[in-house]
A and B are shown apart, each in its own frame.
Chain A
Amino acid sequence: MQIFDLAAADHAFIAEVQARSHQDIKTCYQCGNCTAGCPYTFAYDYSVSQIMRLIQTGQKDAVLKSRSIWLCGSCQSCTTRCPNNIDVALIMDVCRHMAREAGYATERAVKVFADSFLNSVSRYGRAFELGLMTEYMARSGRIFTDVDLAPSALMRNKLPFKPHRIQGRDQVARIFERFRKGGAHA
């Protein structure tokens, strides 16, 4: 069992999660409905209701360093079933944003995959599956990821070798540029 120091609550953290998610964290009464329906609990270090409790008690490090916030599949089961209408999936998203900004990546492969995907979009305007796989393998060091699937996909002509470059790819690239410069929150 893990013991958390409730006296060491980080109130600024609680306030930031509330402000960025527009959710009232204290209304969670720990019924566990979210966890009961969460298909990812088996892979989490803290269940989703435990994450809610850790936020309520201001345990910033435990939350932002958790695996769970990276492994949430955004399936919306928790949000749909919370009796207090808390948008729990949104809170998981916000914690992941904050973990990224703080430089954490407890599930590094998940972060590298998302980054590779977005790089591909910023380059061509659309996701280019083969290109993003190549970048992912190079950056994650996982060379043999899914090579078993390649023949199947290639045989069925499902992995184009060339990206679809859209006309407005500069417009899309500018979205990413402005985002990086402005550091827009929310």
Chain B
Amino acid sequence: MHNIAYYPGCSGQGTSTEYDRSTRAICQALDIALTDVEDWSCCGSSPAHTVNHVLSAALSARNLAQVEAMGMTRVATPCPSCLSNLRTATHKMKDPDFQSKANALLDTPYRNTVDVQSVLQVLAEHVDPEYIKSKVVNPLTGIKIACYYGCIMNRPPALMQFDHHENPMAMDNLMAAIGAEVVPFPLKVECCGASFGIPRGDIVHKLSGKLLDAGRRLGADCFVTACPLCQMNLDLRQGQINDALHENFKIPIFYYTQLLGYALGLDRAELGFEKLCVDPRRALGKIKQPAQTR
């Protein structure tokens, strides 16, 4: 049994509630105990690091200091943007000069004793794939998936230290382990347009449109992603993308945790398929029902 502090991230309370819920559900099913970081605050997300790196590190480090106060040394987050901020803070604060600047902004200084990972990394590196396979009750046989990692889950490699920076495989392996067919998606680490959806929607339409187009050409029934911002750009904005590019994409964008939860036979209420904007029923209908009825 792993016991890990859990940093949900702000979007988990709003635009990506289904990611937060399904993450908690699969972790429970796979004996990973998550303890929420007490009274966690926003990590600063991309706006903070575009303004100032000390400010950004301090906003992240307040949370890492909370983890220290809980007596824990490992924290996991589902969100790559939070992950990148928390890891950057940890990395930069190894420099004593930078550390004292960041700590000067905080009530409680951060001693830099916490290791930050994504929930995906915890699953990929600390849970035996055979164990996951043994728990599958609804194998995903019949569905074709494009796994999309987003630009910062694995980059830059010296900072993220997880999987491969050009061709990551953690989600592909996971989806294959639960019976899905994964397509060799060449744009795994390309950018979706990040947080420009509001100020420069045209950028997101173009970049996310390129991803959807590549997925469609490969005959993918759906995408899986591990990033709330990627998911929102590809799913919530898919209608906008269609309008802007005169396209007709209808590709459901799942969180990998939703399909993993489905395969593990978890309660549908925990998986939140109804939260997706692009109707996922046709894609889910591709999954062959097991011969024996339950």
Output the least CB separation between B204 and chain A (Å).
10
Q: Which chain A residues numbered 107 to 154 have a C-beta less than 8 Å away from chain B?
A: 107, 109-110, 112-115, 117-118, 121, 125-127, 129, 133, 136, 140, 145-146, 148-149, 152-153
Proximity string of chain A (61-97) to chain B, C-beta cutoff 8 Å, 1 when within and 0 when not: 0000000000101111101100000010100010011
Question: Is B53's CB within 8 Å of the partner chain A?
Answer: yes
Interface of chain A, helix or strand or loop or mixed?
A: helix
Question: Is A4's CB within 8 Å of the partner chain B?
Answer: no
Output the least CB separation between A100 and chain B (Å).
7
Q: Which of A71, A140, A164, A168 has the most CB of B within 10 A?
A: A168
A166-B39, A166-B41, A178-B104 given as contacts; is B191 within 8 A of A73 (CB)? Answer: yes
Is the CB–CB distance between B196 and A179 below 8 Å? no
Contact of B51 among A114, A148, A174 (CB under 8 A): A114
Shortest beta-carbon contacts, A-B, top 5: A114-B47, A109-B199, A75-B151, A75-B191, A76-B155
Binding site for B on A (CB under 8 A): 39-40, 42-43, 71, 73-77, 79-80, 87, 89, 93, 96-97, 100, 107, 109-110, 112-115, 117-118, 121, 125-127, 129, 133, 136, 140, 145-146, 148-149, 152-153, 156-160, 164, 166-169, 171-172, 174-176, 178-179, 182, 184-186
27 contacts between A and B (CB under 8 A): A39-B207, A43-B200, A43-B202, A73-B193, A75-B190, A93-B49, A97-B53, A117-B45, A117-B47, A126-B10, A127-B10, A127-B42, A148-B240, A152-B239, A153-B15, A156-B275, A157-B17, A159-B15, A160-B13, A160-B14, A169-B41, A171-B107, A171-B108, A175-B105, A179-B105, A186-B52, A186-B54
